[in-house]
Amino acid sequence: MKSGSNLERVIASGKPAVTAELGPPMSADPHEVIKKAGILKGFCDAANITDCQTAVVRISSIAAAYIAHQQGLEPVMQMTCRDRNRIAMQADLLGAAALGLKNCLCIAGDHQKFSAAGKLKGHPGAKNVYDVDTCQLVGIMKKMRDEGLQQGGDKLEVAPKFFIGASWTPMGDPMDFRPYNLKKKVDAGADFIQTQGIYDMEIFKSQMEKARNLGLHERTAILAGIIVPKSAMMLKYMDSSVAGVTVPKPLIDRMLKAKEAAGDDKKKMKELQEQEGIKITVELIQQALEIPGIKGVHIQAIEWETAMEPIVKAAGLYPRPTFDA
């Protein structure tokens, strides 16, 4: 075992892994993290704790991850390359490991200009860092863990033992380069991969075939990302405005049909679309898990954590495996 994390153990067991997502609040109040952790606990093997997602200030990933950890939910802390140089990154990794955190996902991070897609003020005038990129951060973490060395070469008395993750956008431009993009992250040392949300399984299958041809599925655990759709509007938005995400028309039509079935009843409209969204998610999970080389799913029920229980149960992924301490 590289880290001994629950996520690593589930993956090693050969059973499909399930990760979820927990977005920390724009608040100094820990209770929202505690509440979300309580909802997710038992329905995933670990939950990603996002790092100032959408380039908006929130409780830091490490602090929120520690709160979740105390609640008995295993966290995957996230670390973007946007806000820290390699000194701060490594210091935070030592601190996180000292607090008992065992999984870390490396990502570039939304550009500071994003500001929740313009819905919030954010800090578009902030200076970004990008001292290192995702591949390089993965490499730094691996060097710390496996060689007990900092990036600069100084020795670590006790090395931080992380299960190292990276993201992959299989359907992003330029698409023919994306399998090699993944290969670089694996070469750098990514133990697991969580993909961007997949709705178009056919394109994903062909990208996975290319990844398999490079032997990547044997060197890393690829978890297919599924973003739980809440409404037809959300699916349309994801299709038109989220980079690297395409939503096939039949899925949007299914959601529209569910919406229309409610007539003018707004409450029912929401209910029926949410039910359909859960159904679609379960189907996507099952399709993804059939793809050779897929070792699990990363289910993102964004600001809708209660959806995890029915999804995981309906997908036949409940109960989650447990291990002796």
Partner 1 sequence: MIVGQQKPFDEIWEMVEGFKKILVYGCNTCVAICHAGGGKEAEILASMLRMKAAQEGVDMQIDSQAIERHCEPEFFEPLMEKVRTYDLVLSTACGVGVNFLSDRIGNIPVYPGINTTFFGAVPEAGFFVELCGGCGNCVLHLTGGICPVVRCSKSLMNGPCGGTDKGKCEVSSETDCAWFLIVERMKQLGQLEKLFEVQPPRDWSTGTHGGPRRVSLEHIQAYEAEEEKKTATEGK
| Interface residues toward partner 1, by CB under 8 A | 81-82, 86, 108-111, 113-114, 128, 130-136, 139-140, 151, 167, 169, 172-174, 176-177, 180-181, 183-184, 187-188, 196, 243-244
Q: How far apart are CA 197 and CA 228, in angstroms?
A: 9
The CB-of-75 to partner 1 minimum distance in angstroms stands at 21
We find the least distance from the C-beta atom of residue 44 to partner 1, in angstroms, to be: 22
Nearest approach in angstroms of CB 144 to partner 1 is 13
Nearest CB to partner 1, comparing residues 240 and 306? 240
> 30 vs 139, which CB is nearer to partner 1?
139
CB of 199 to partner 1, least distance (A): 15
Tokens of 323: 């291990």
Residue nearer to partner 1 on the CB measure, 114 or 192: 114
User: Cα separation of 291 and 272, whole Å?
Assistant: 29
> Least separation, in Å, of the C-beta of 256 and partner 1?
24
Crossing angle of helices 201-213 and 266-290, in 10° steps, is 30
Q: Which is nearer to partner 1, 6 or 134 (CB)?
A: 134
**Tokens 């200009």 belong to residue:** 113
- Structural tokens at position 34: 């505690």
**Closer Cβ to partner 1, 108 or 233, answer by number:** 108
SS3 letters across 118-139: HCCCCCCCCCCCCCCCHHHHHH
CB of 177 to partner 1, least distance (A): 5
Q: Where are the alpha helices (DSSP H) in the chain?
A: 6-13, 31-40, 61-70, 86-98, 134-142, 178-188, 201-213, 232-241, 249-260, 266-290, 308-314
Radius of gyration of the chain from its Cα atoms, rounded to whole angstroms: 19
Q: How far is the CB of 316 from partner 1 (least distance, A)?
A: 30
Q: Which of 100, 88, 93, 67 is nearest to 78 (CA)?
A: 93
Phi, psi of 47 (to 5 degrees): -125, 130
Q: Which CB atom, from 123 or from 184, has the smaller least distance to partner 1? A: 184
Q: Min. distance of Cβ 146 from partner 1 in angstroms? A: 15
Q: Which is nearer to partner 1, 55 or 307 (CB)?
A: 55
Q: How far is 269 from 131, CA to CA, in rounded Å?
A: 47
Q: Given the complex with partner 1, which of 47 and 81 has the nearer CB atom?
A: 81
What is the rounded CA–CA span in Å between residue 260 and residue 255? 9
DSSP 164: E
Kindly give the pairing relationship between strand 294-300 and strand 163-168: unpaired
